[in-house]
Amino acid sequence: MPRMTAARAAVEILKREGVTNAFGVPGAAINPFYKALQAAGGIDHTLARHVEGASHMAEGYTRAGAGNIGVCVGTSGPAGTDMITGLYSAIGDSIPILCITGQAPTSVIHKEDFQAVDIASIAKPVTKAATTVLEAAQVPGVFQQAFHLMRSGRPGPVLIDLPIDVQLTEIEFDPETYVPLPVYKPFATRAQIEKAISFLLESRRPLIVAGGGIINADACDLLVEFAELTGTPVIPTLMGWGTIPDDHELNAGMVGLQTSHRYGNANFLESDFVLGIGNRWANRHTGYKLDVYTKGRKFVHVDVEPTQIGKIFAPDYGIASDAKAALELFVEVARELKAAGKLPDRSEWLATTQERKATLHRRTHFDNVPLKPQRVYEEMNKAFGPETRYVTTIGLSQIAGAQMLHVYKPRHWINCGQAGPLGWTIPAALGVAIADPESPVVALSGDYDFQFMLEELAVGAQHRIPYVHVLVNNSYLGLIRQAQIGLDINFQVNLEFENINSPELGVYGVDHVKVVEGLGCKAIRVTEPDQLLPAFEEAKKLAAEFRVPVVVEAILERITNISMSTTADISNVVEFEELATEPGHAPTAIKPLRV
C-alpha cells in the first residue's frame, strides 16, 4: 500500500473529486498542505489578499457552474474566522464550497496556543459539516464524506480543519483505488407529480415560481419545456433569474419587495395557483405580510430539502425532490396530457401577463448631471449582451440592477442573495472569471461594497483575470439611508469628505481611479450620461488588451430613492421616480419578443 502524508492524501482526493482550482492564503499551520499541493500538481491556486476574499472567490467559481466545487484554503486561527462570512453566504444560497484550514498541533489545541481556535464549533451553524481531524488515518474518509455531503440533498459548504501534525503524519492510502461516494437526492414519484398537476389543471391563472434549485440541478431547459407545454407563465426568483430568458413570452417578471418588476408583482397578485420549484419563499420575494402573498391562491412546493416545505407557510401540497427529477416527470406527464388534449387553453391569461410586461415599466432614460443610476443600467443593457455574466451582492446598486438589467441564461446573474455581505462582489467576480474565461463578466457595486475588499483587485492584476466592474458612486450607504427614512434619521451613512489629494472630485471623497490604478488595474470615470456607453465599450477593450479588471466609475447624484415597498407588502411598492408609461416617456425596458 502506498504511503504518503495525510496532507498529500487530501490533495489526491481533491483531484479525484474533480477539483481543478483552489483559492487561498498560506500560513505556517497549513504549509504542509501547500507543500502537497505543489508536489501533486494538477490544481491551480489563486493567491488572495484576504482569506474572506478567497472564500468568496471559491463561491463565485462554484456559482458560475464550471462543474467543479470551489475550494478555499487558509491557516489556523483568524484565517478560519475570516472564512465564516463566505460559509454563511454559501449555505444561505445552497452553494457547495470546501474550506480547508490549518490548525495548531493536536496536543496544544485546547491550551490557548498561538492562533488556535475551535473553528469547527464556530463554523457548524453555517456549514453542512465542520470537522477538526484529530487522527491522520481519518483524513481520506473525512474528505470523501465532505464531497458527498456538499453534493447531496440541498447543496452547501463544508469546513475541514487539519492540525499541522495530522497533515505531516504518514498514512497508507492508494489514490488509484479512490472512488467518490454516490450522491443522494430525493426523487419525486409519478403519483406525486400527477397530484401536483391536478392543482394546475383546476386553476385559471397559474404561475410557476422558479428558484435557484432549478439552476443548481441544471434543469432550466426542462422548466422552459414544461412551461411551454402547459402555457404557464414563470416568475423567476432572484436566485432563479436566468431559468427562463427575460425575453421569453412566458417570463412574467420578478416578484418582491425590492428586486422586482412592476409587471411581476402585478401578475403575481392576479394569479390563483402557484407551483414553486427549487425556491425557499425568501422574505424579499414574499414580503413579510404573508397574508397578502398567499390570499386567494393555492400553492404546491417542490424542494430538495424536506424541511423547507412548510417552513415559511404551509403549501396545499409539498414534494421533497431534486428539481431535475421532478421536472423530468412534470414534462413527461404534461406531454401525455397535451397529446390527449387535456391541457386547458391559457392564451387569455398569458396575454394579460404579457400586456402588463409590455407596459408596466420604470423610467430609465434621464439626462441629469450628476447621473441618475437608472441611466447607468439603461446603457449597460446596450453595452453588455446576452452572454454577459453579472456579479453583485447587495445595496441600491444591486436592487436597481435587478429591476432594470436583463438576464437570458442560467448562472448569468450571480448574486449573493441570502447573506448579502458587502465586499463580496470583487472576489466573487474573480472566481466567476476564472471558472468561465470565455464569457464576459461584469460586476456591479456601490461605492461601499467596492471599498470593503478592493484589495482583491490586485489578485486580478497579478493573475491576469480580466473583467469589467461598474461602480456607481454617490458616497452614501444608499440602501441604509433609504431604510432610515422611516425612522426620520440620516445618521452615519454619509461617506463624503474633501479629498485633499483629488480636489477635482469635489465632495465625492475616495479617488477610486487612483486606488484602482495603484492596484495594477485600469479605471475610467464617467460624469455625464453620454459618456457611459463609450466608457463601457472602452472598458471591454482595455480588459481584453491588458488582461486585468477594468473599473468604470459612474458619479451619481447623491440621493436617488429606488422603487421598493416601504410596508413589507408586495402590493404596495413605492415608485419614487416617474414611470416609463407616462406621456413623453417611451418604455426603455425589455419588450416581449415572442408574443
Active site residue: 100, 164, 166, 477, which one?
477
Has 432 been annotated as catalytic? no
The total number of residues shown for the chain amounts to 595
Q: Which residue is catalytic, options 122, 480, 493, 533? A: 480
Please check whether residue 142 is in contact with residue 160, taking contact to mean a CB–CB distance below 8 angstroms: yes
CB environment 196-208: b (16+ within 10 A), e (fewer): bbebbeebebbbb
Active site residue: 95, 337, 422, 430, which one? 422
Q: How far is CA 397 from the centre of its chain?
A: 15
DSSP string, 433-484: HHH-TTS-EEEEEEHHHHHHSGGGHHHHHHHT--EEEEEEE-SB-HHHHHHG
Spatial contact of 61 and 434, defined as CB atoms under 8 Å apart: yes
Nearest to 96 by CA among 153, 34, 37, 15: 153
Q: Which of 51, 223, 360, 391 is catalytic?
A: 51
Cα angle 297, 281, 572; round to 5: 65
Q: Does the active-site annotation cover 224?
A: no
Rounded to 5 degrees, φ, ψ at 441 are: -115, 130
- Which of these is catalytic: 11, 13, 14, 25? 25
422 given a catalytic annotation: yes
- To the query of whether residue 51 is one of the catalytic residues in this protein, the response is yes
Largest interatomic CA distance in the chain: 80
> What is the DSSP secondary-structure string of 456-470?
GHHHHHHHT--EEEE
Query: Taking the alpha carbons of 448, 452, 454, 456 in that order, is the dihedral positive or negative?
Result: negative
- 550 counts as catalytic: no
Are the C-beta atoms of residues 537 and 380 closer than 8 Å to each other? no
Q: Which residues are catalytic?
A: 25, 51, 422, 477, 480
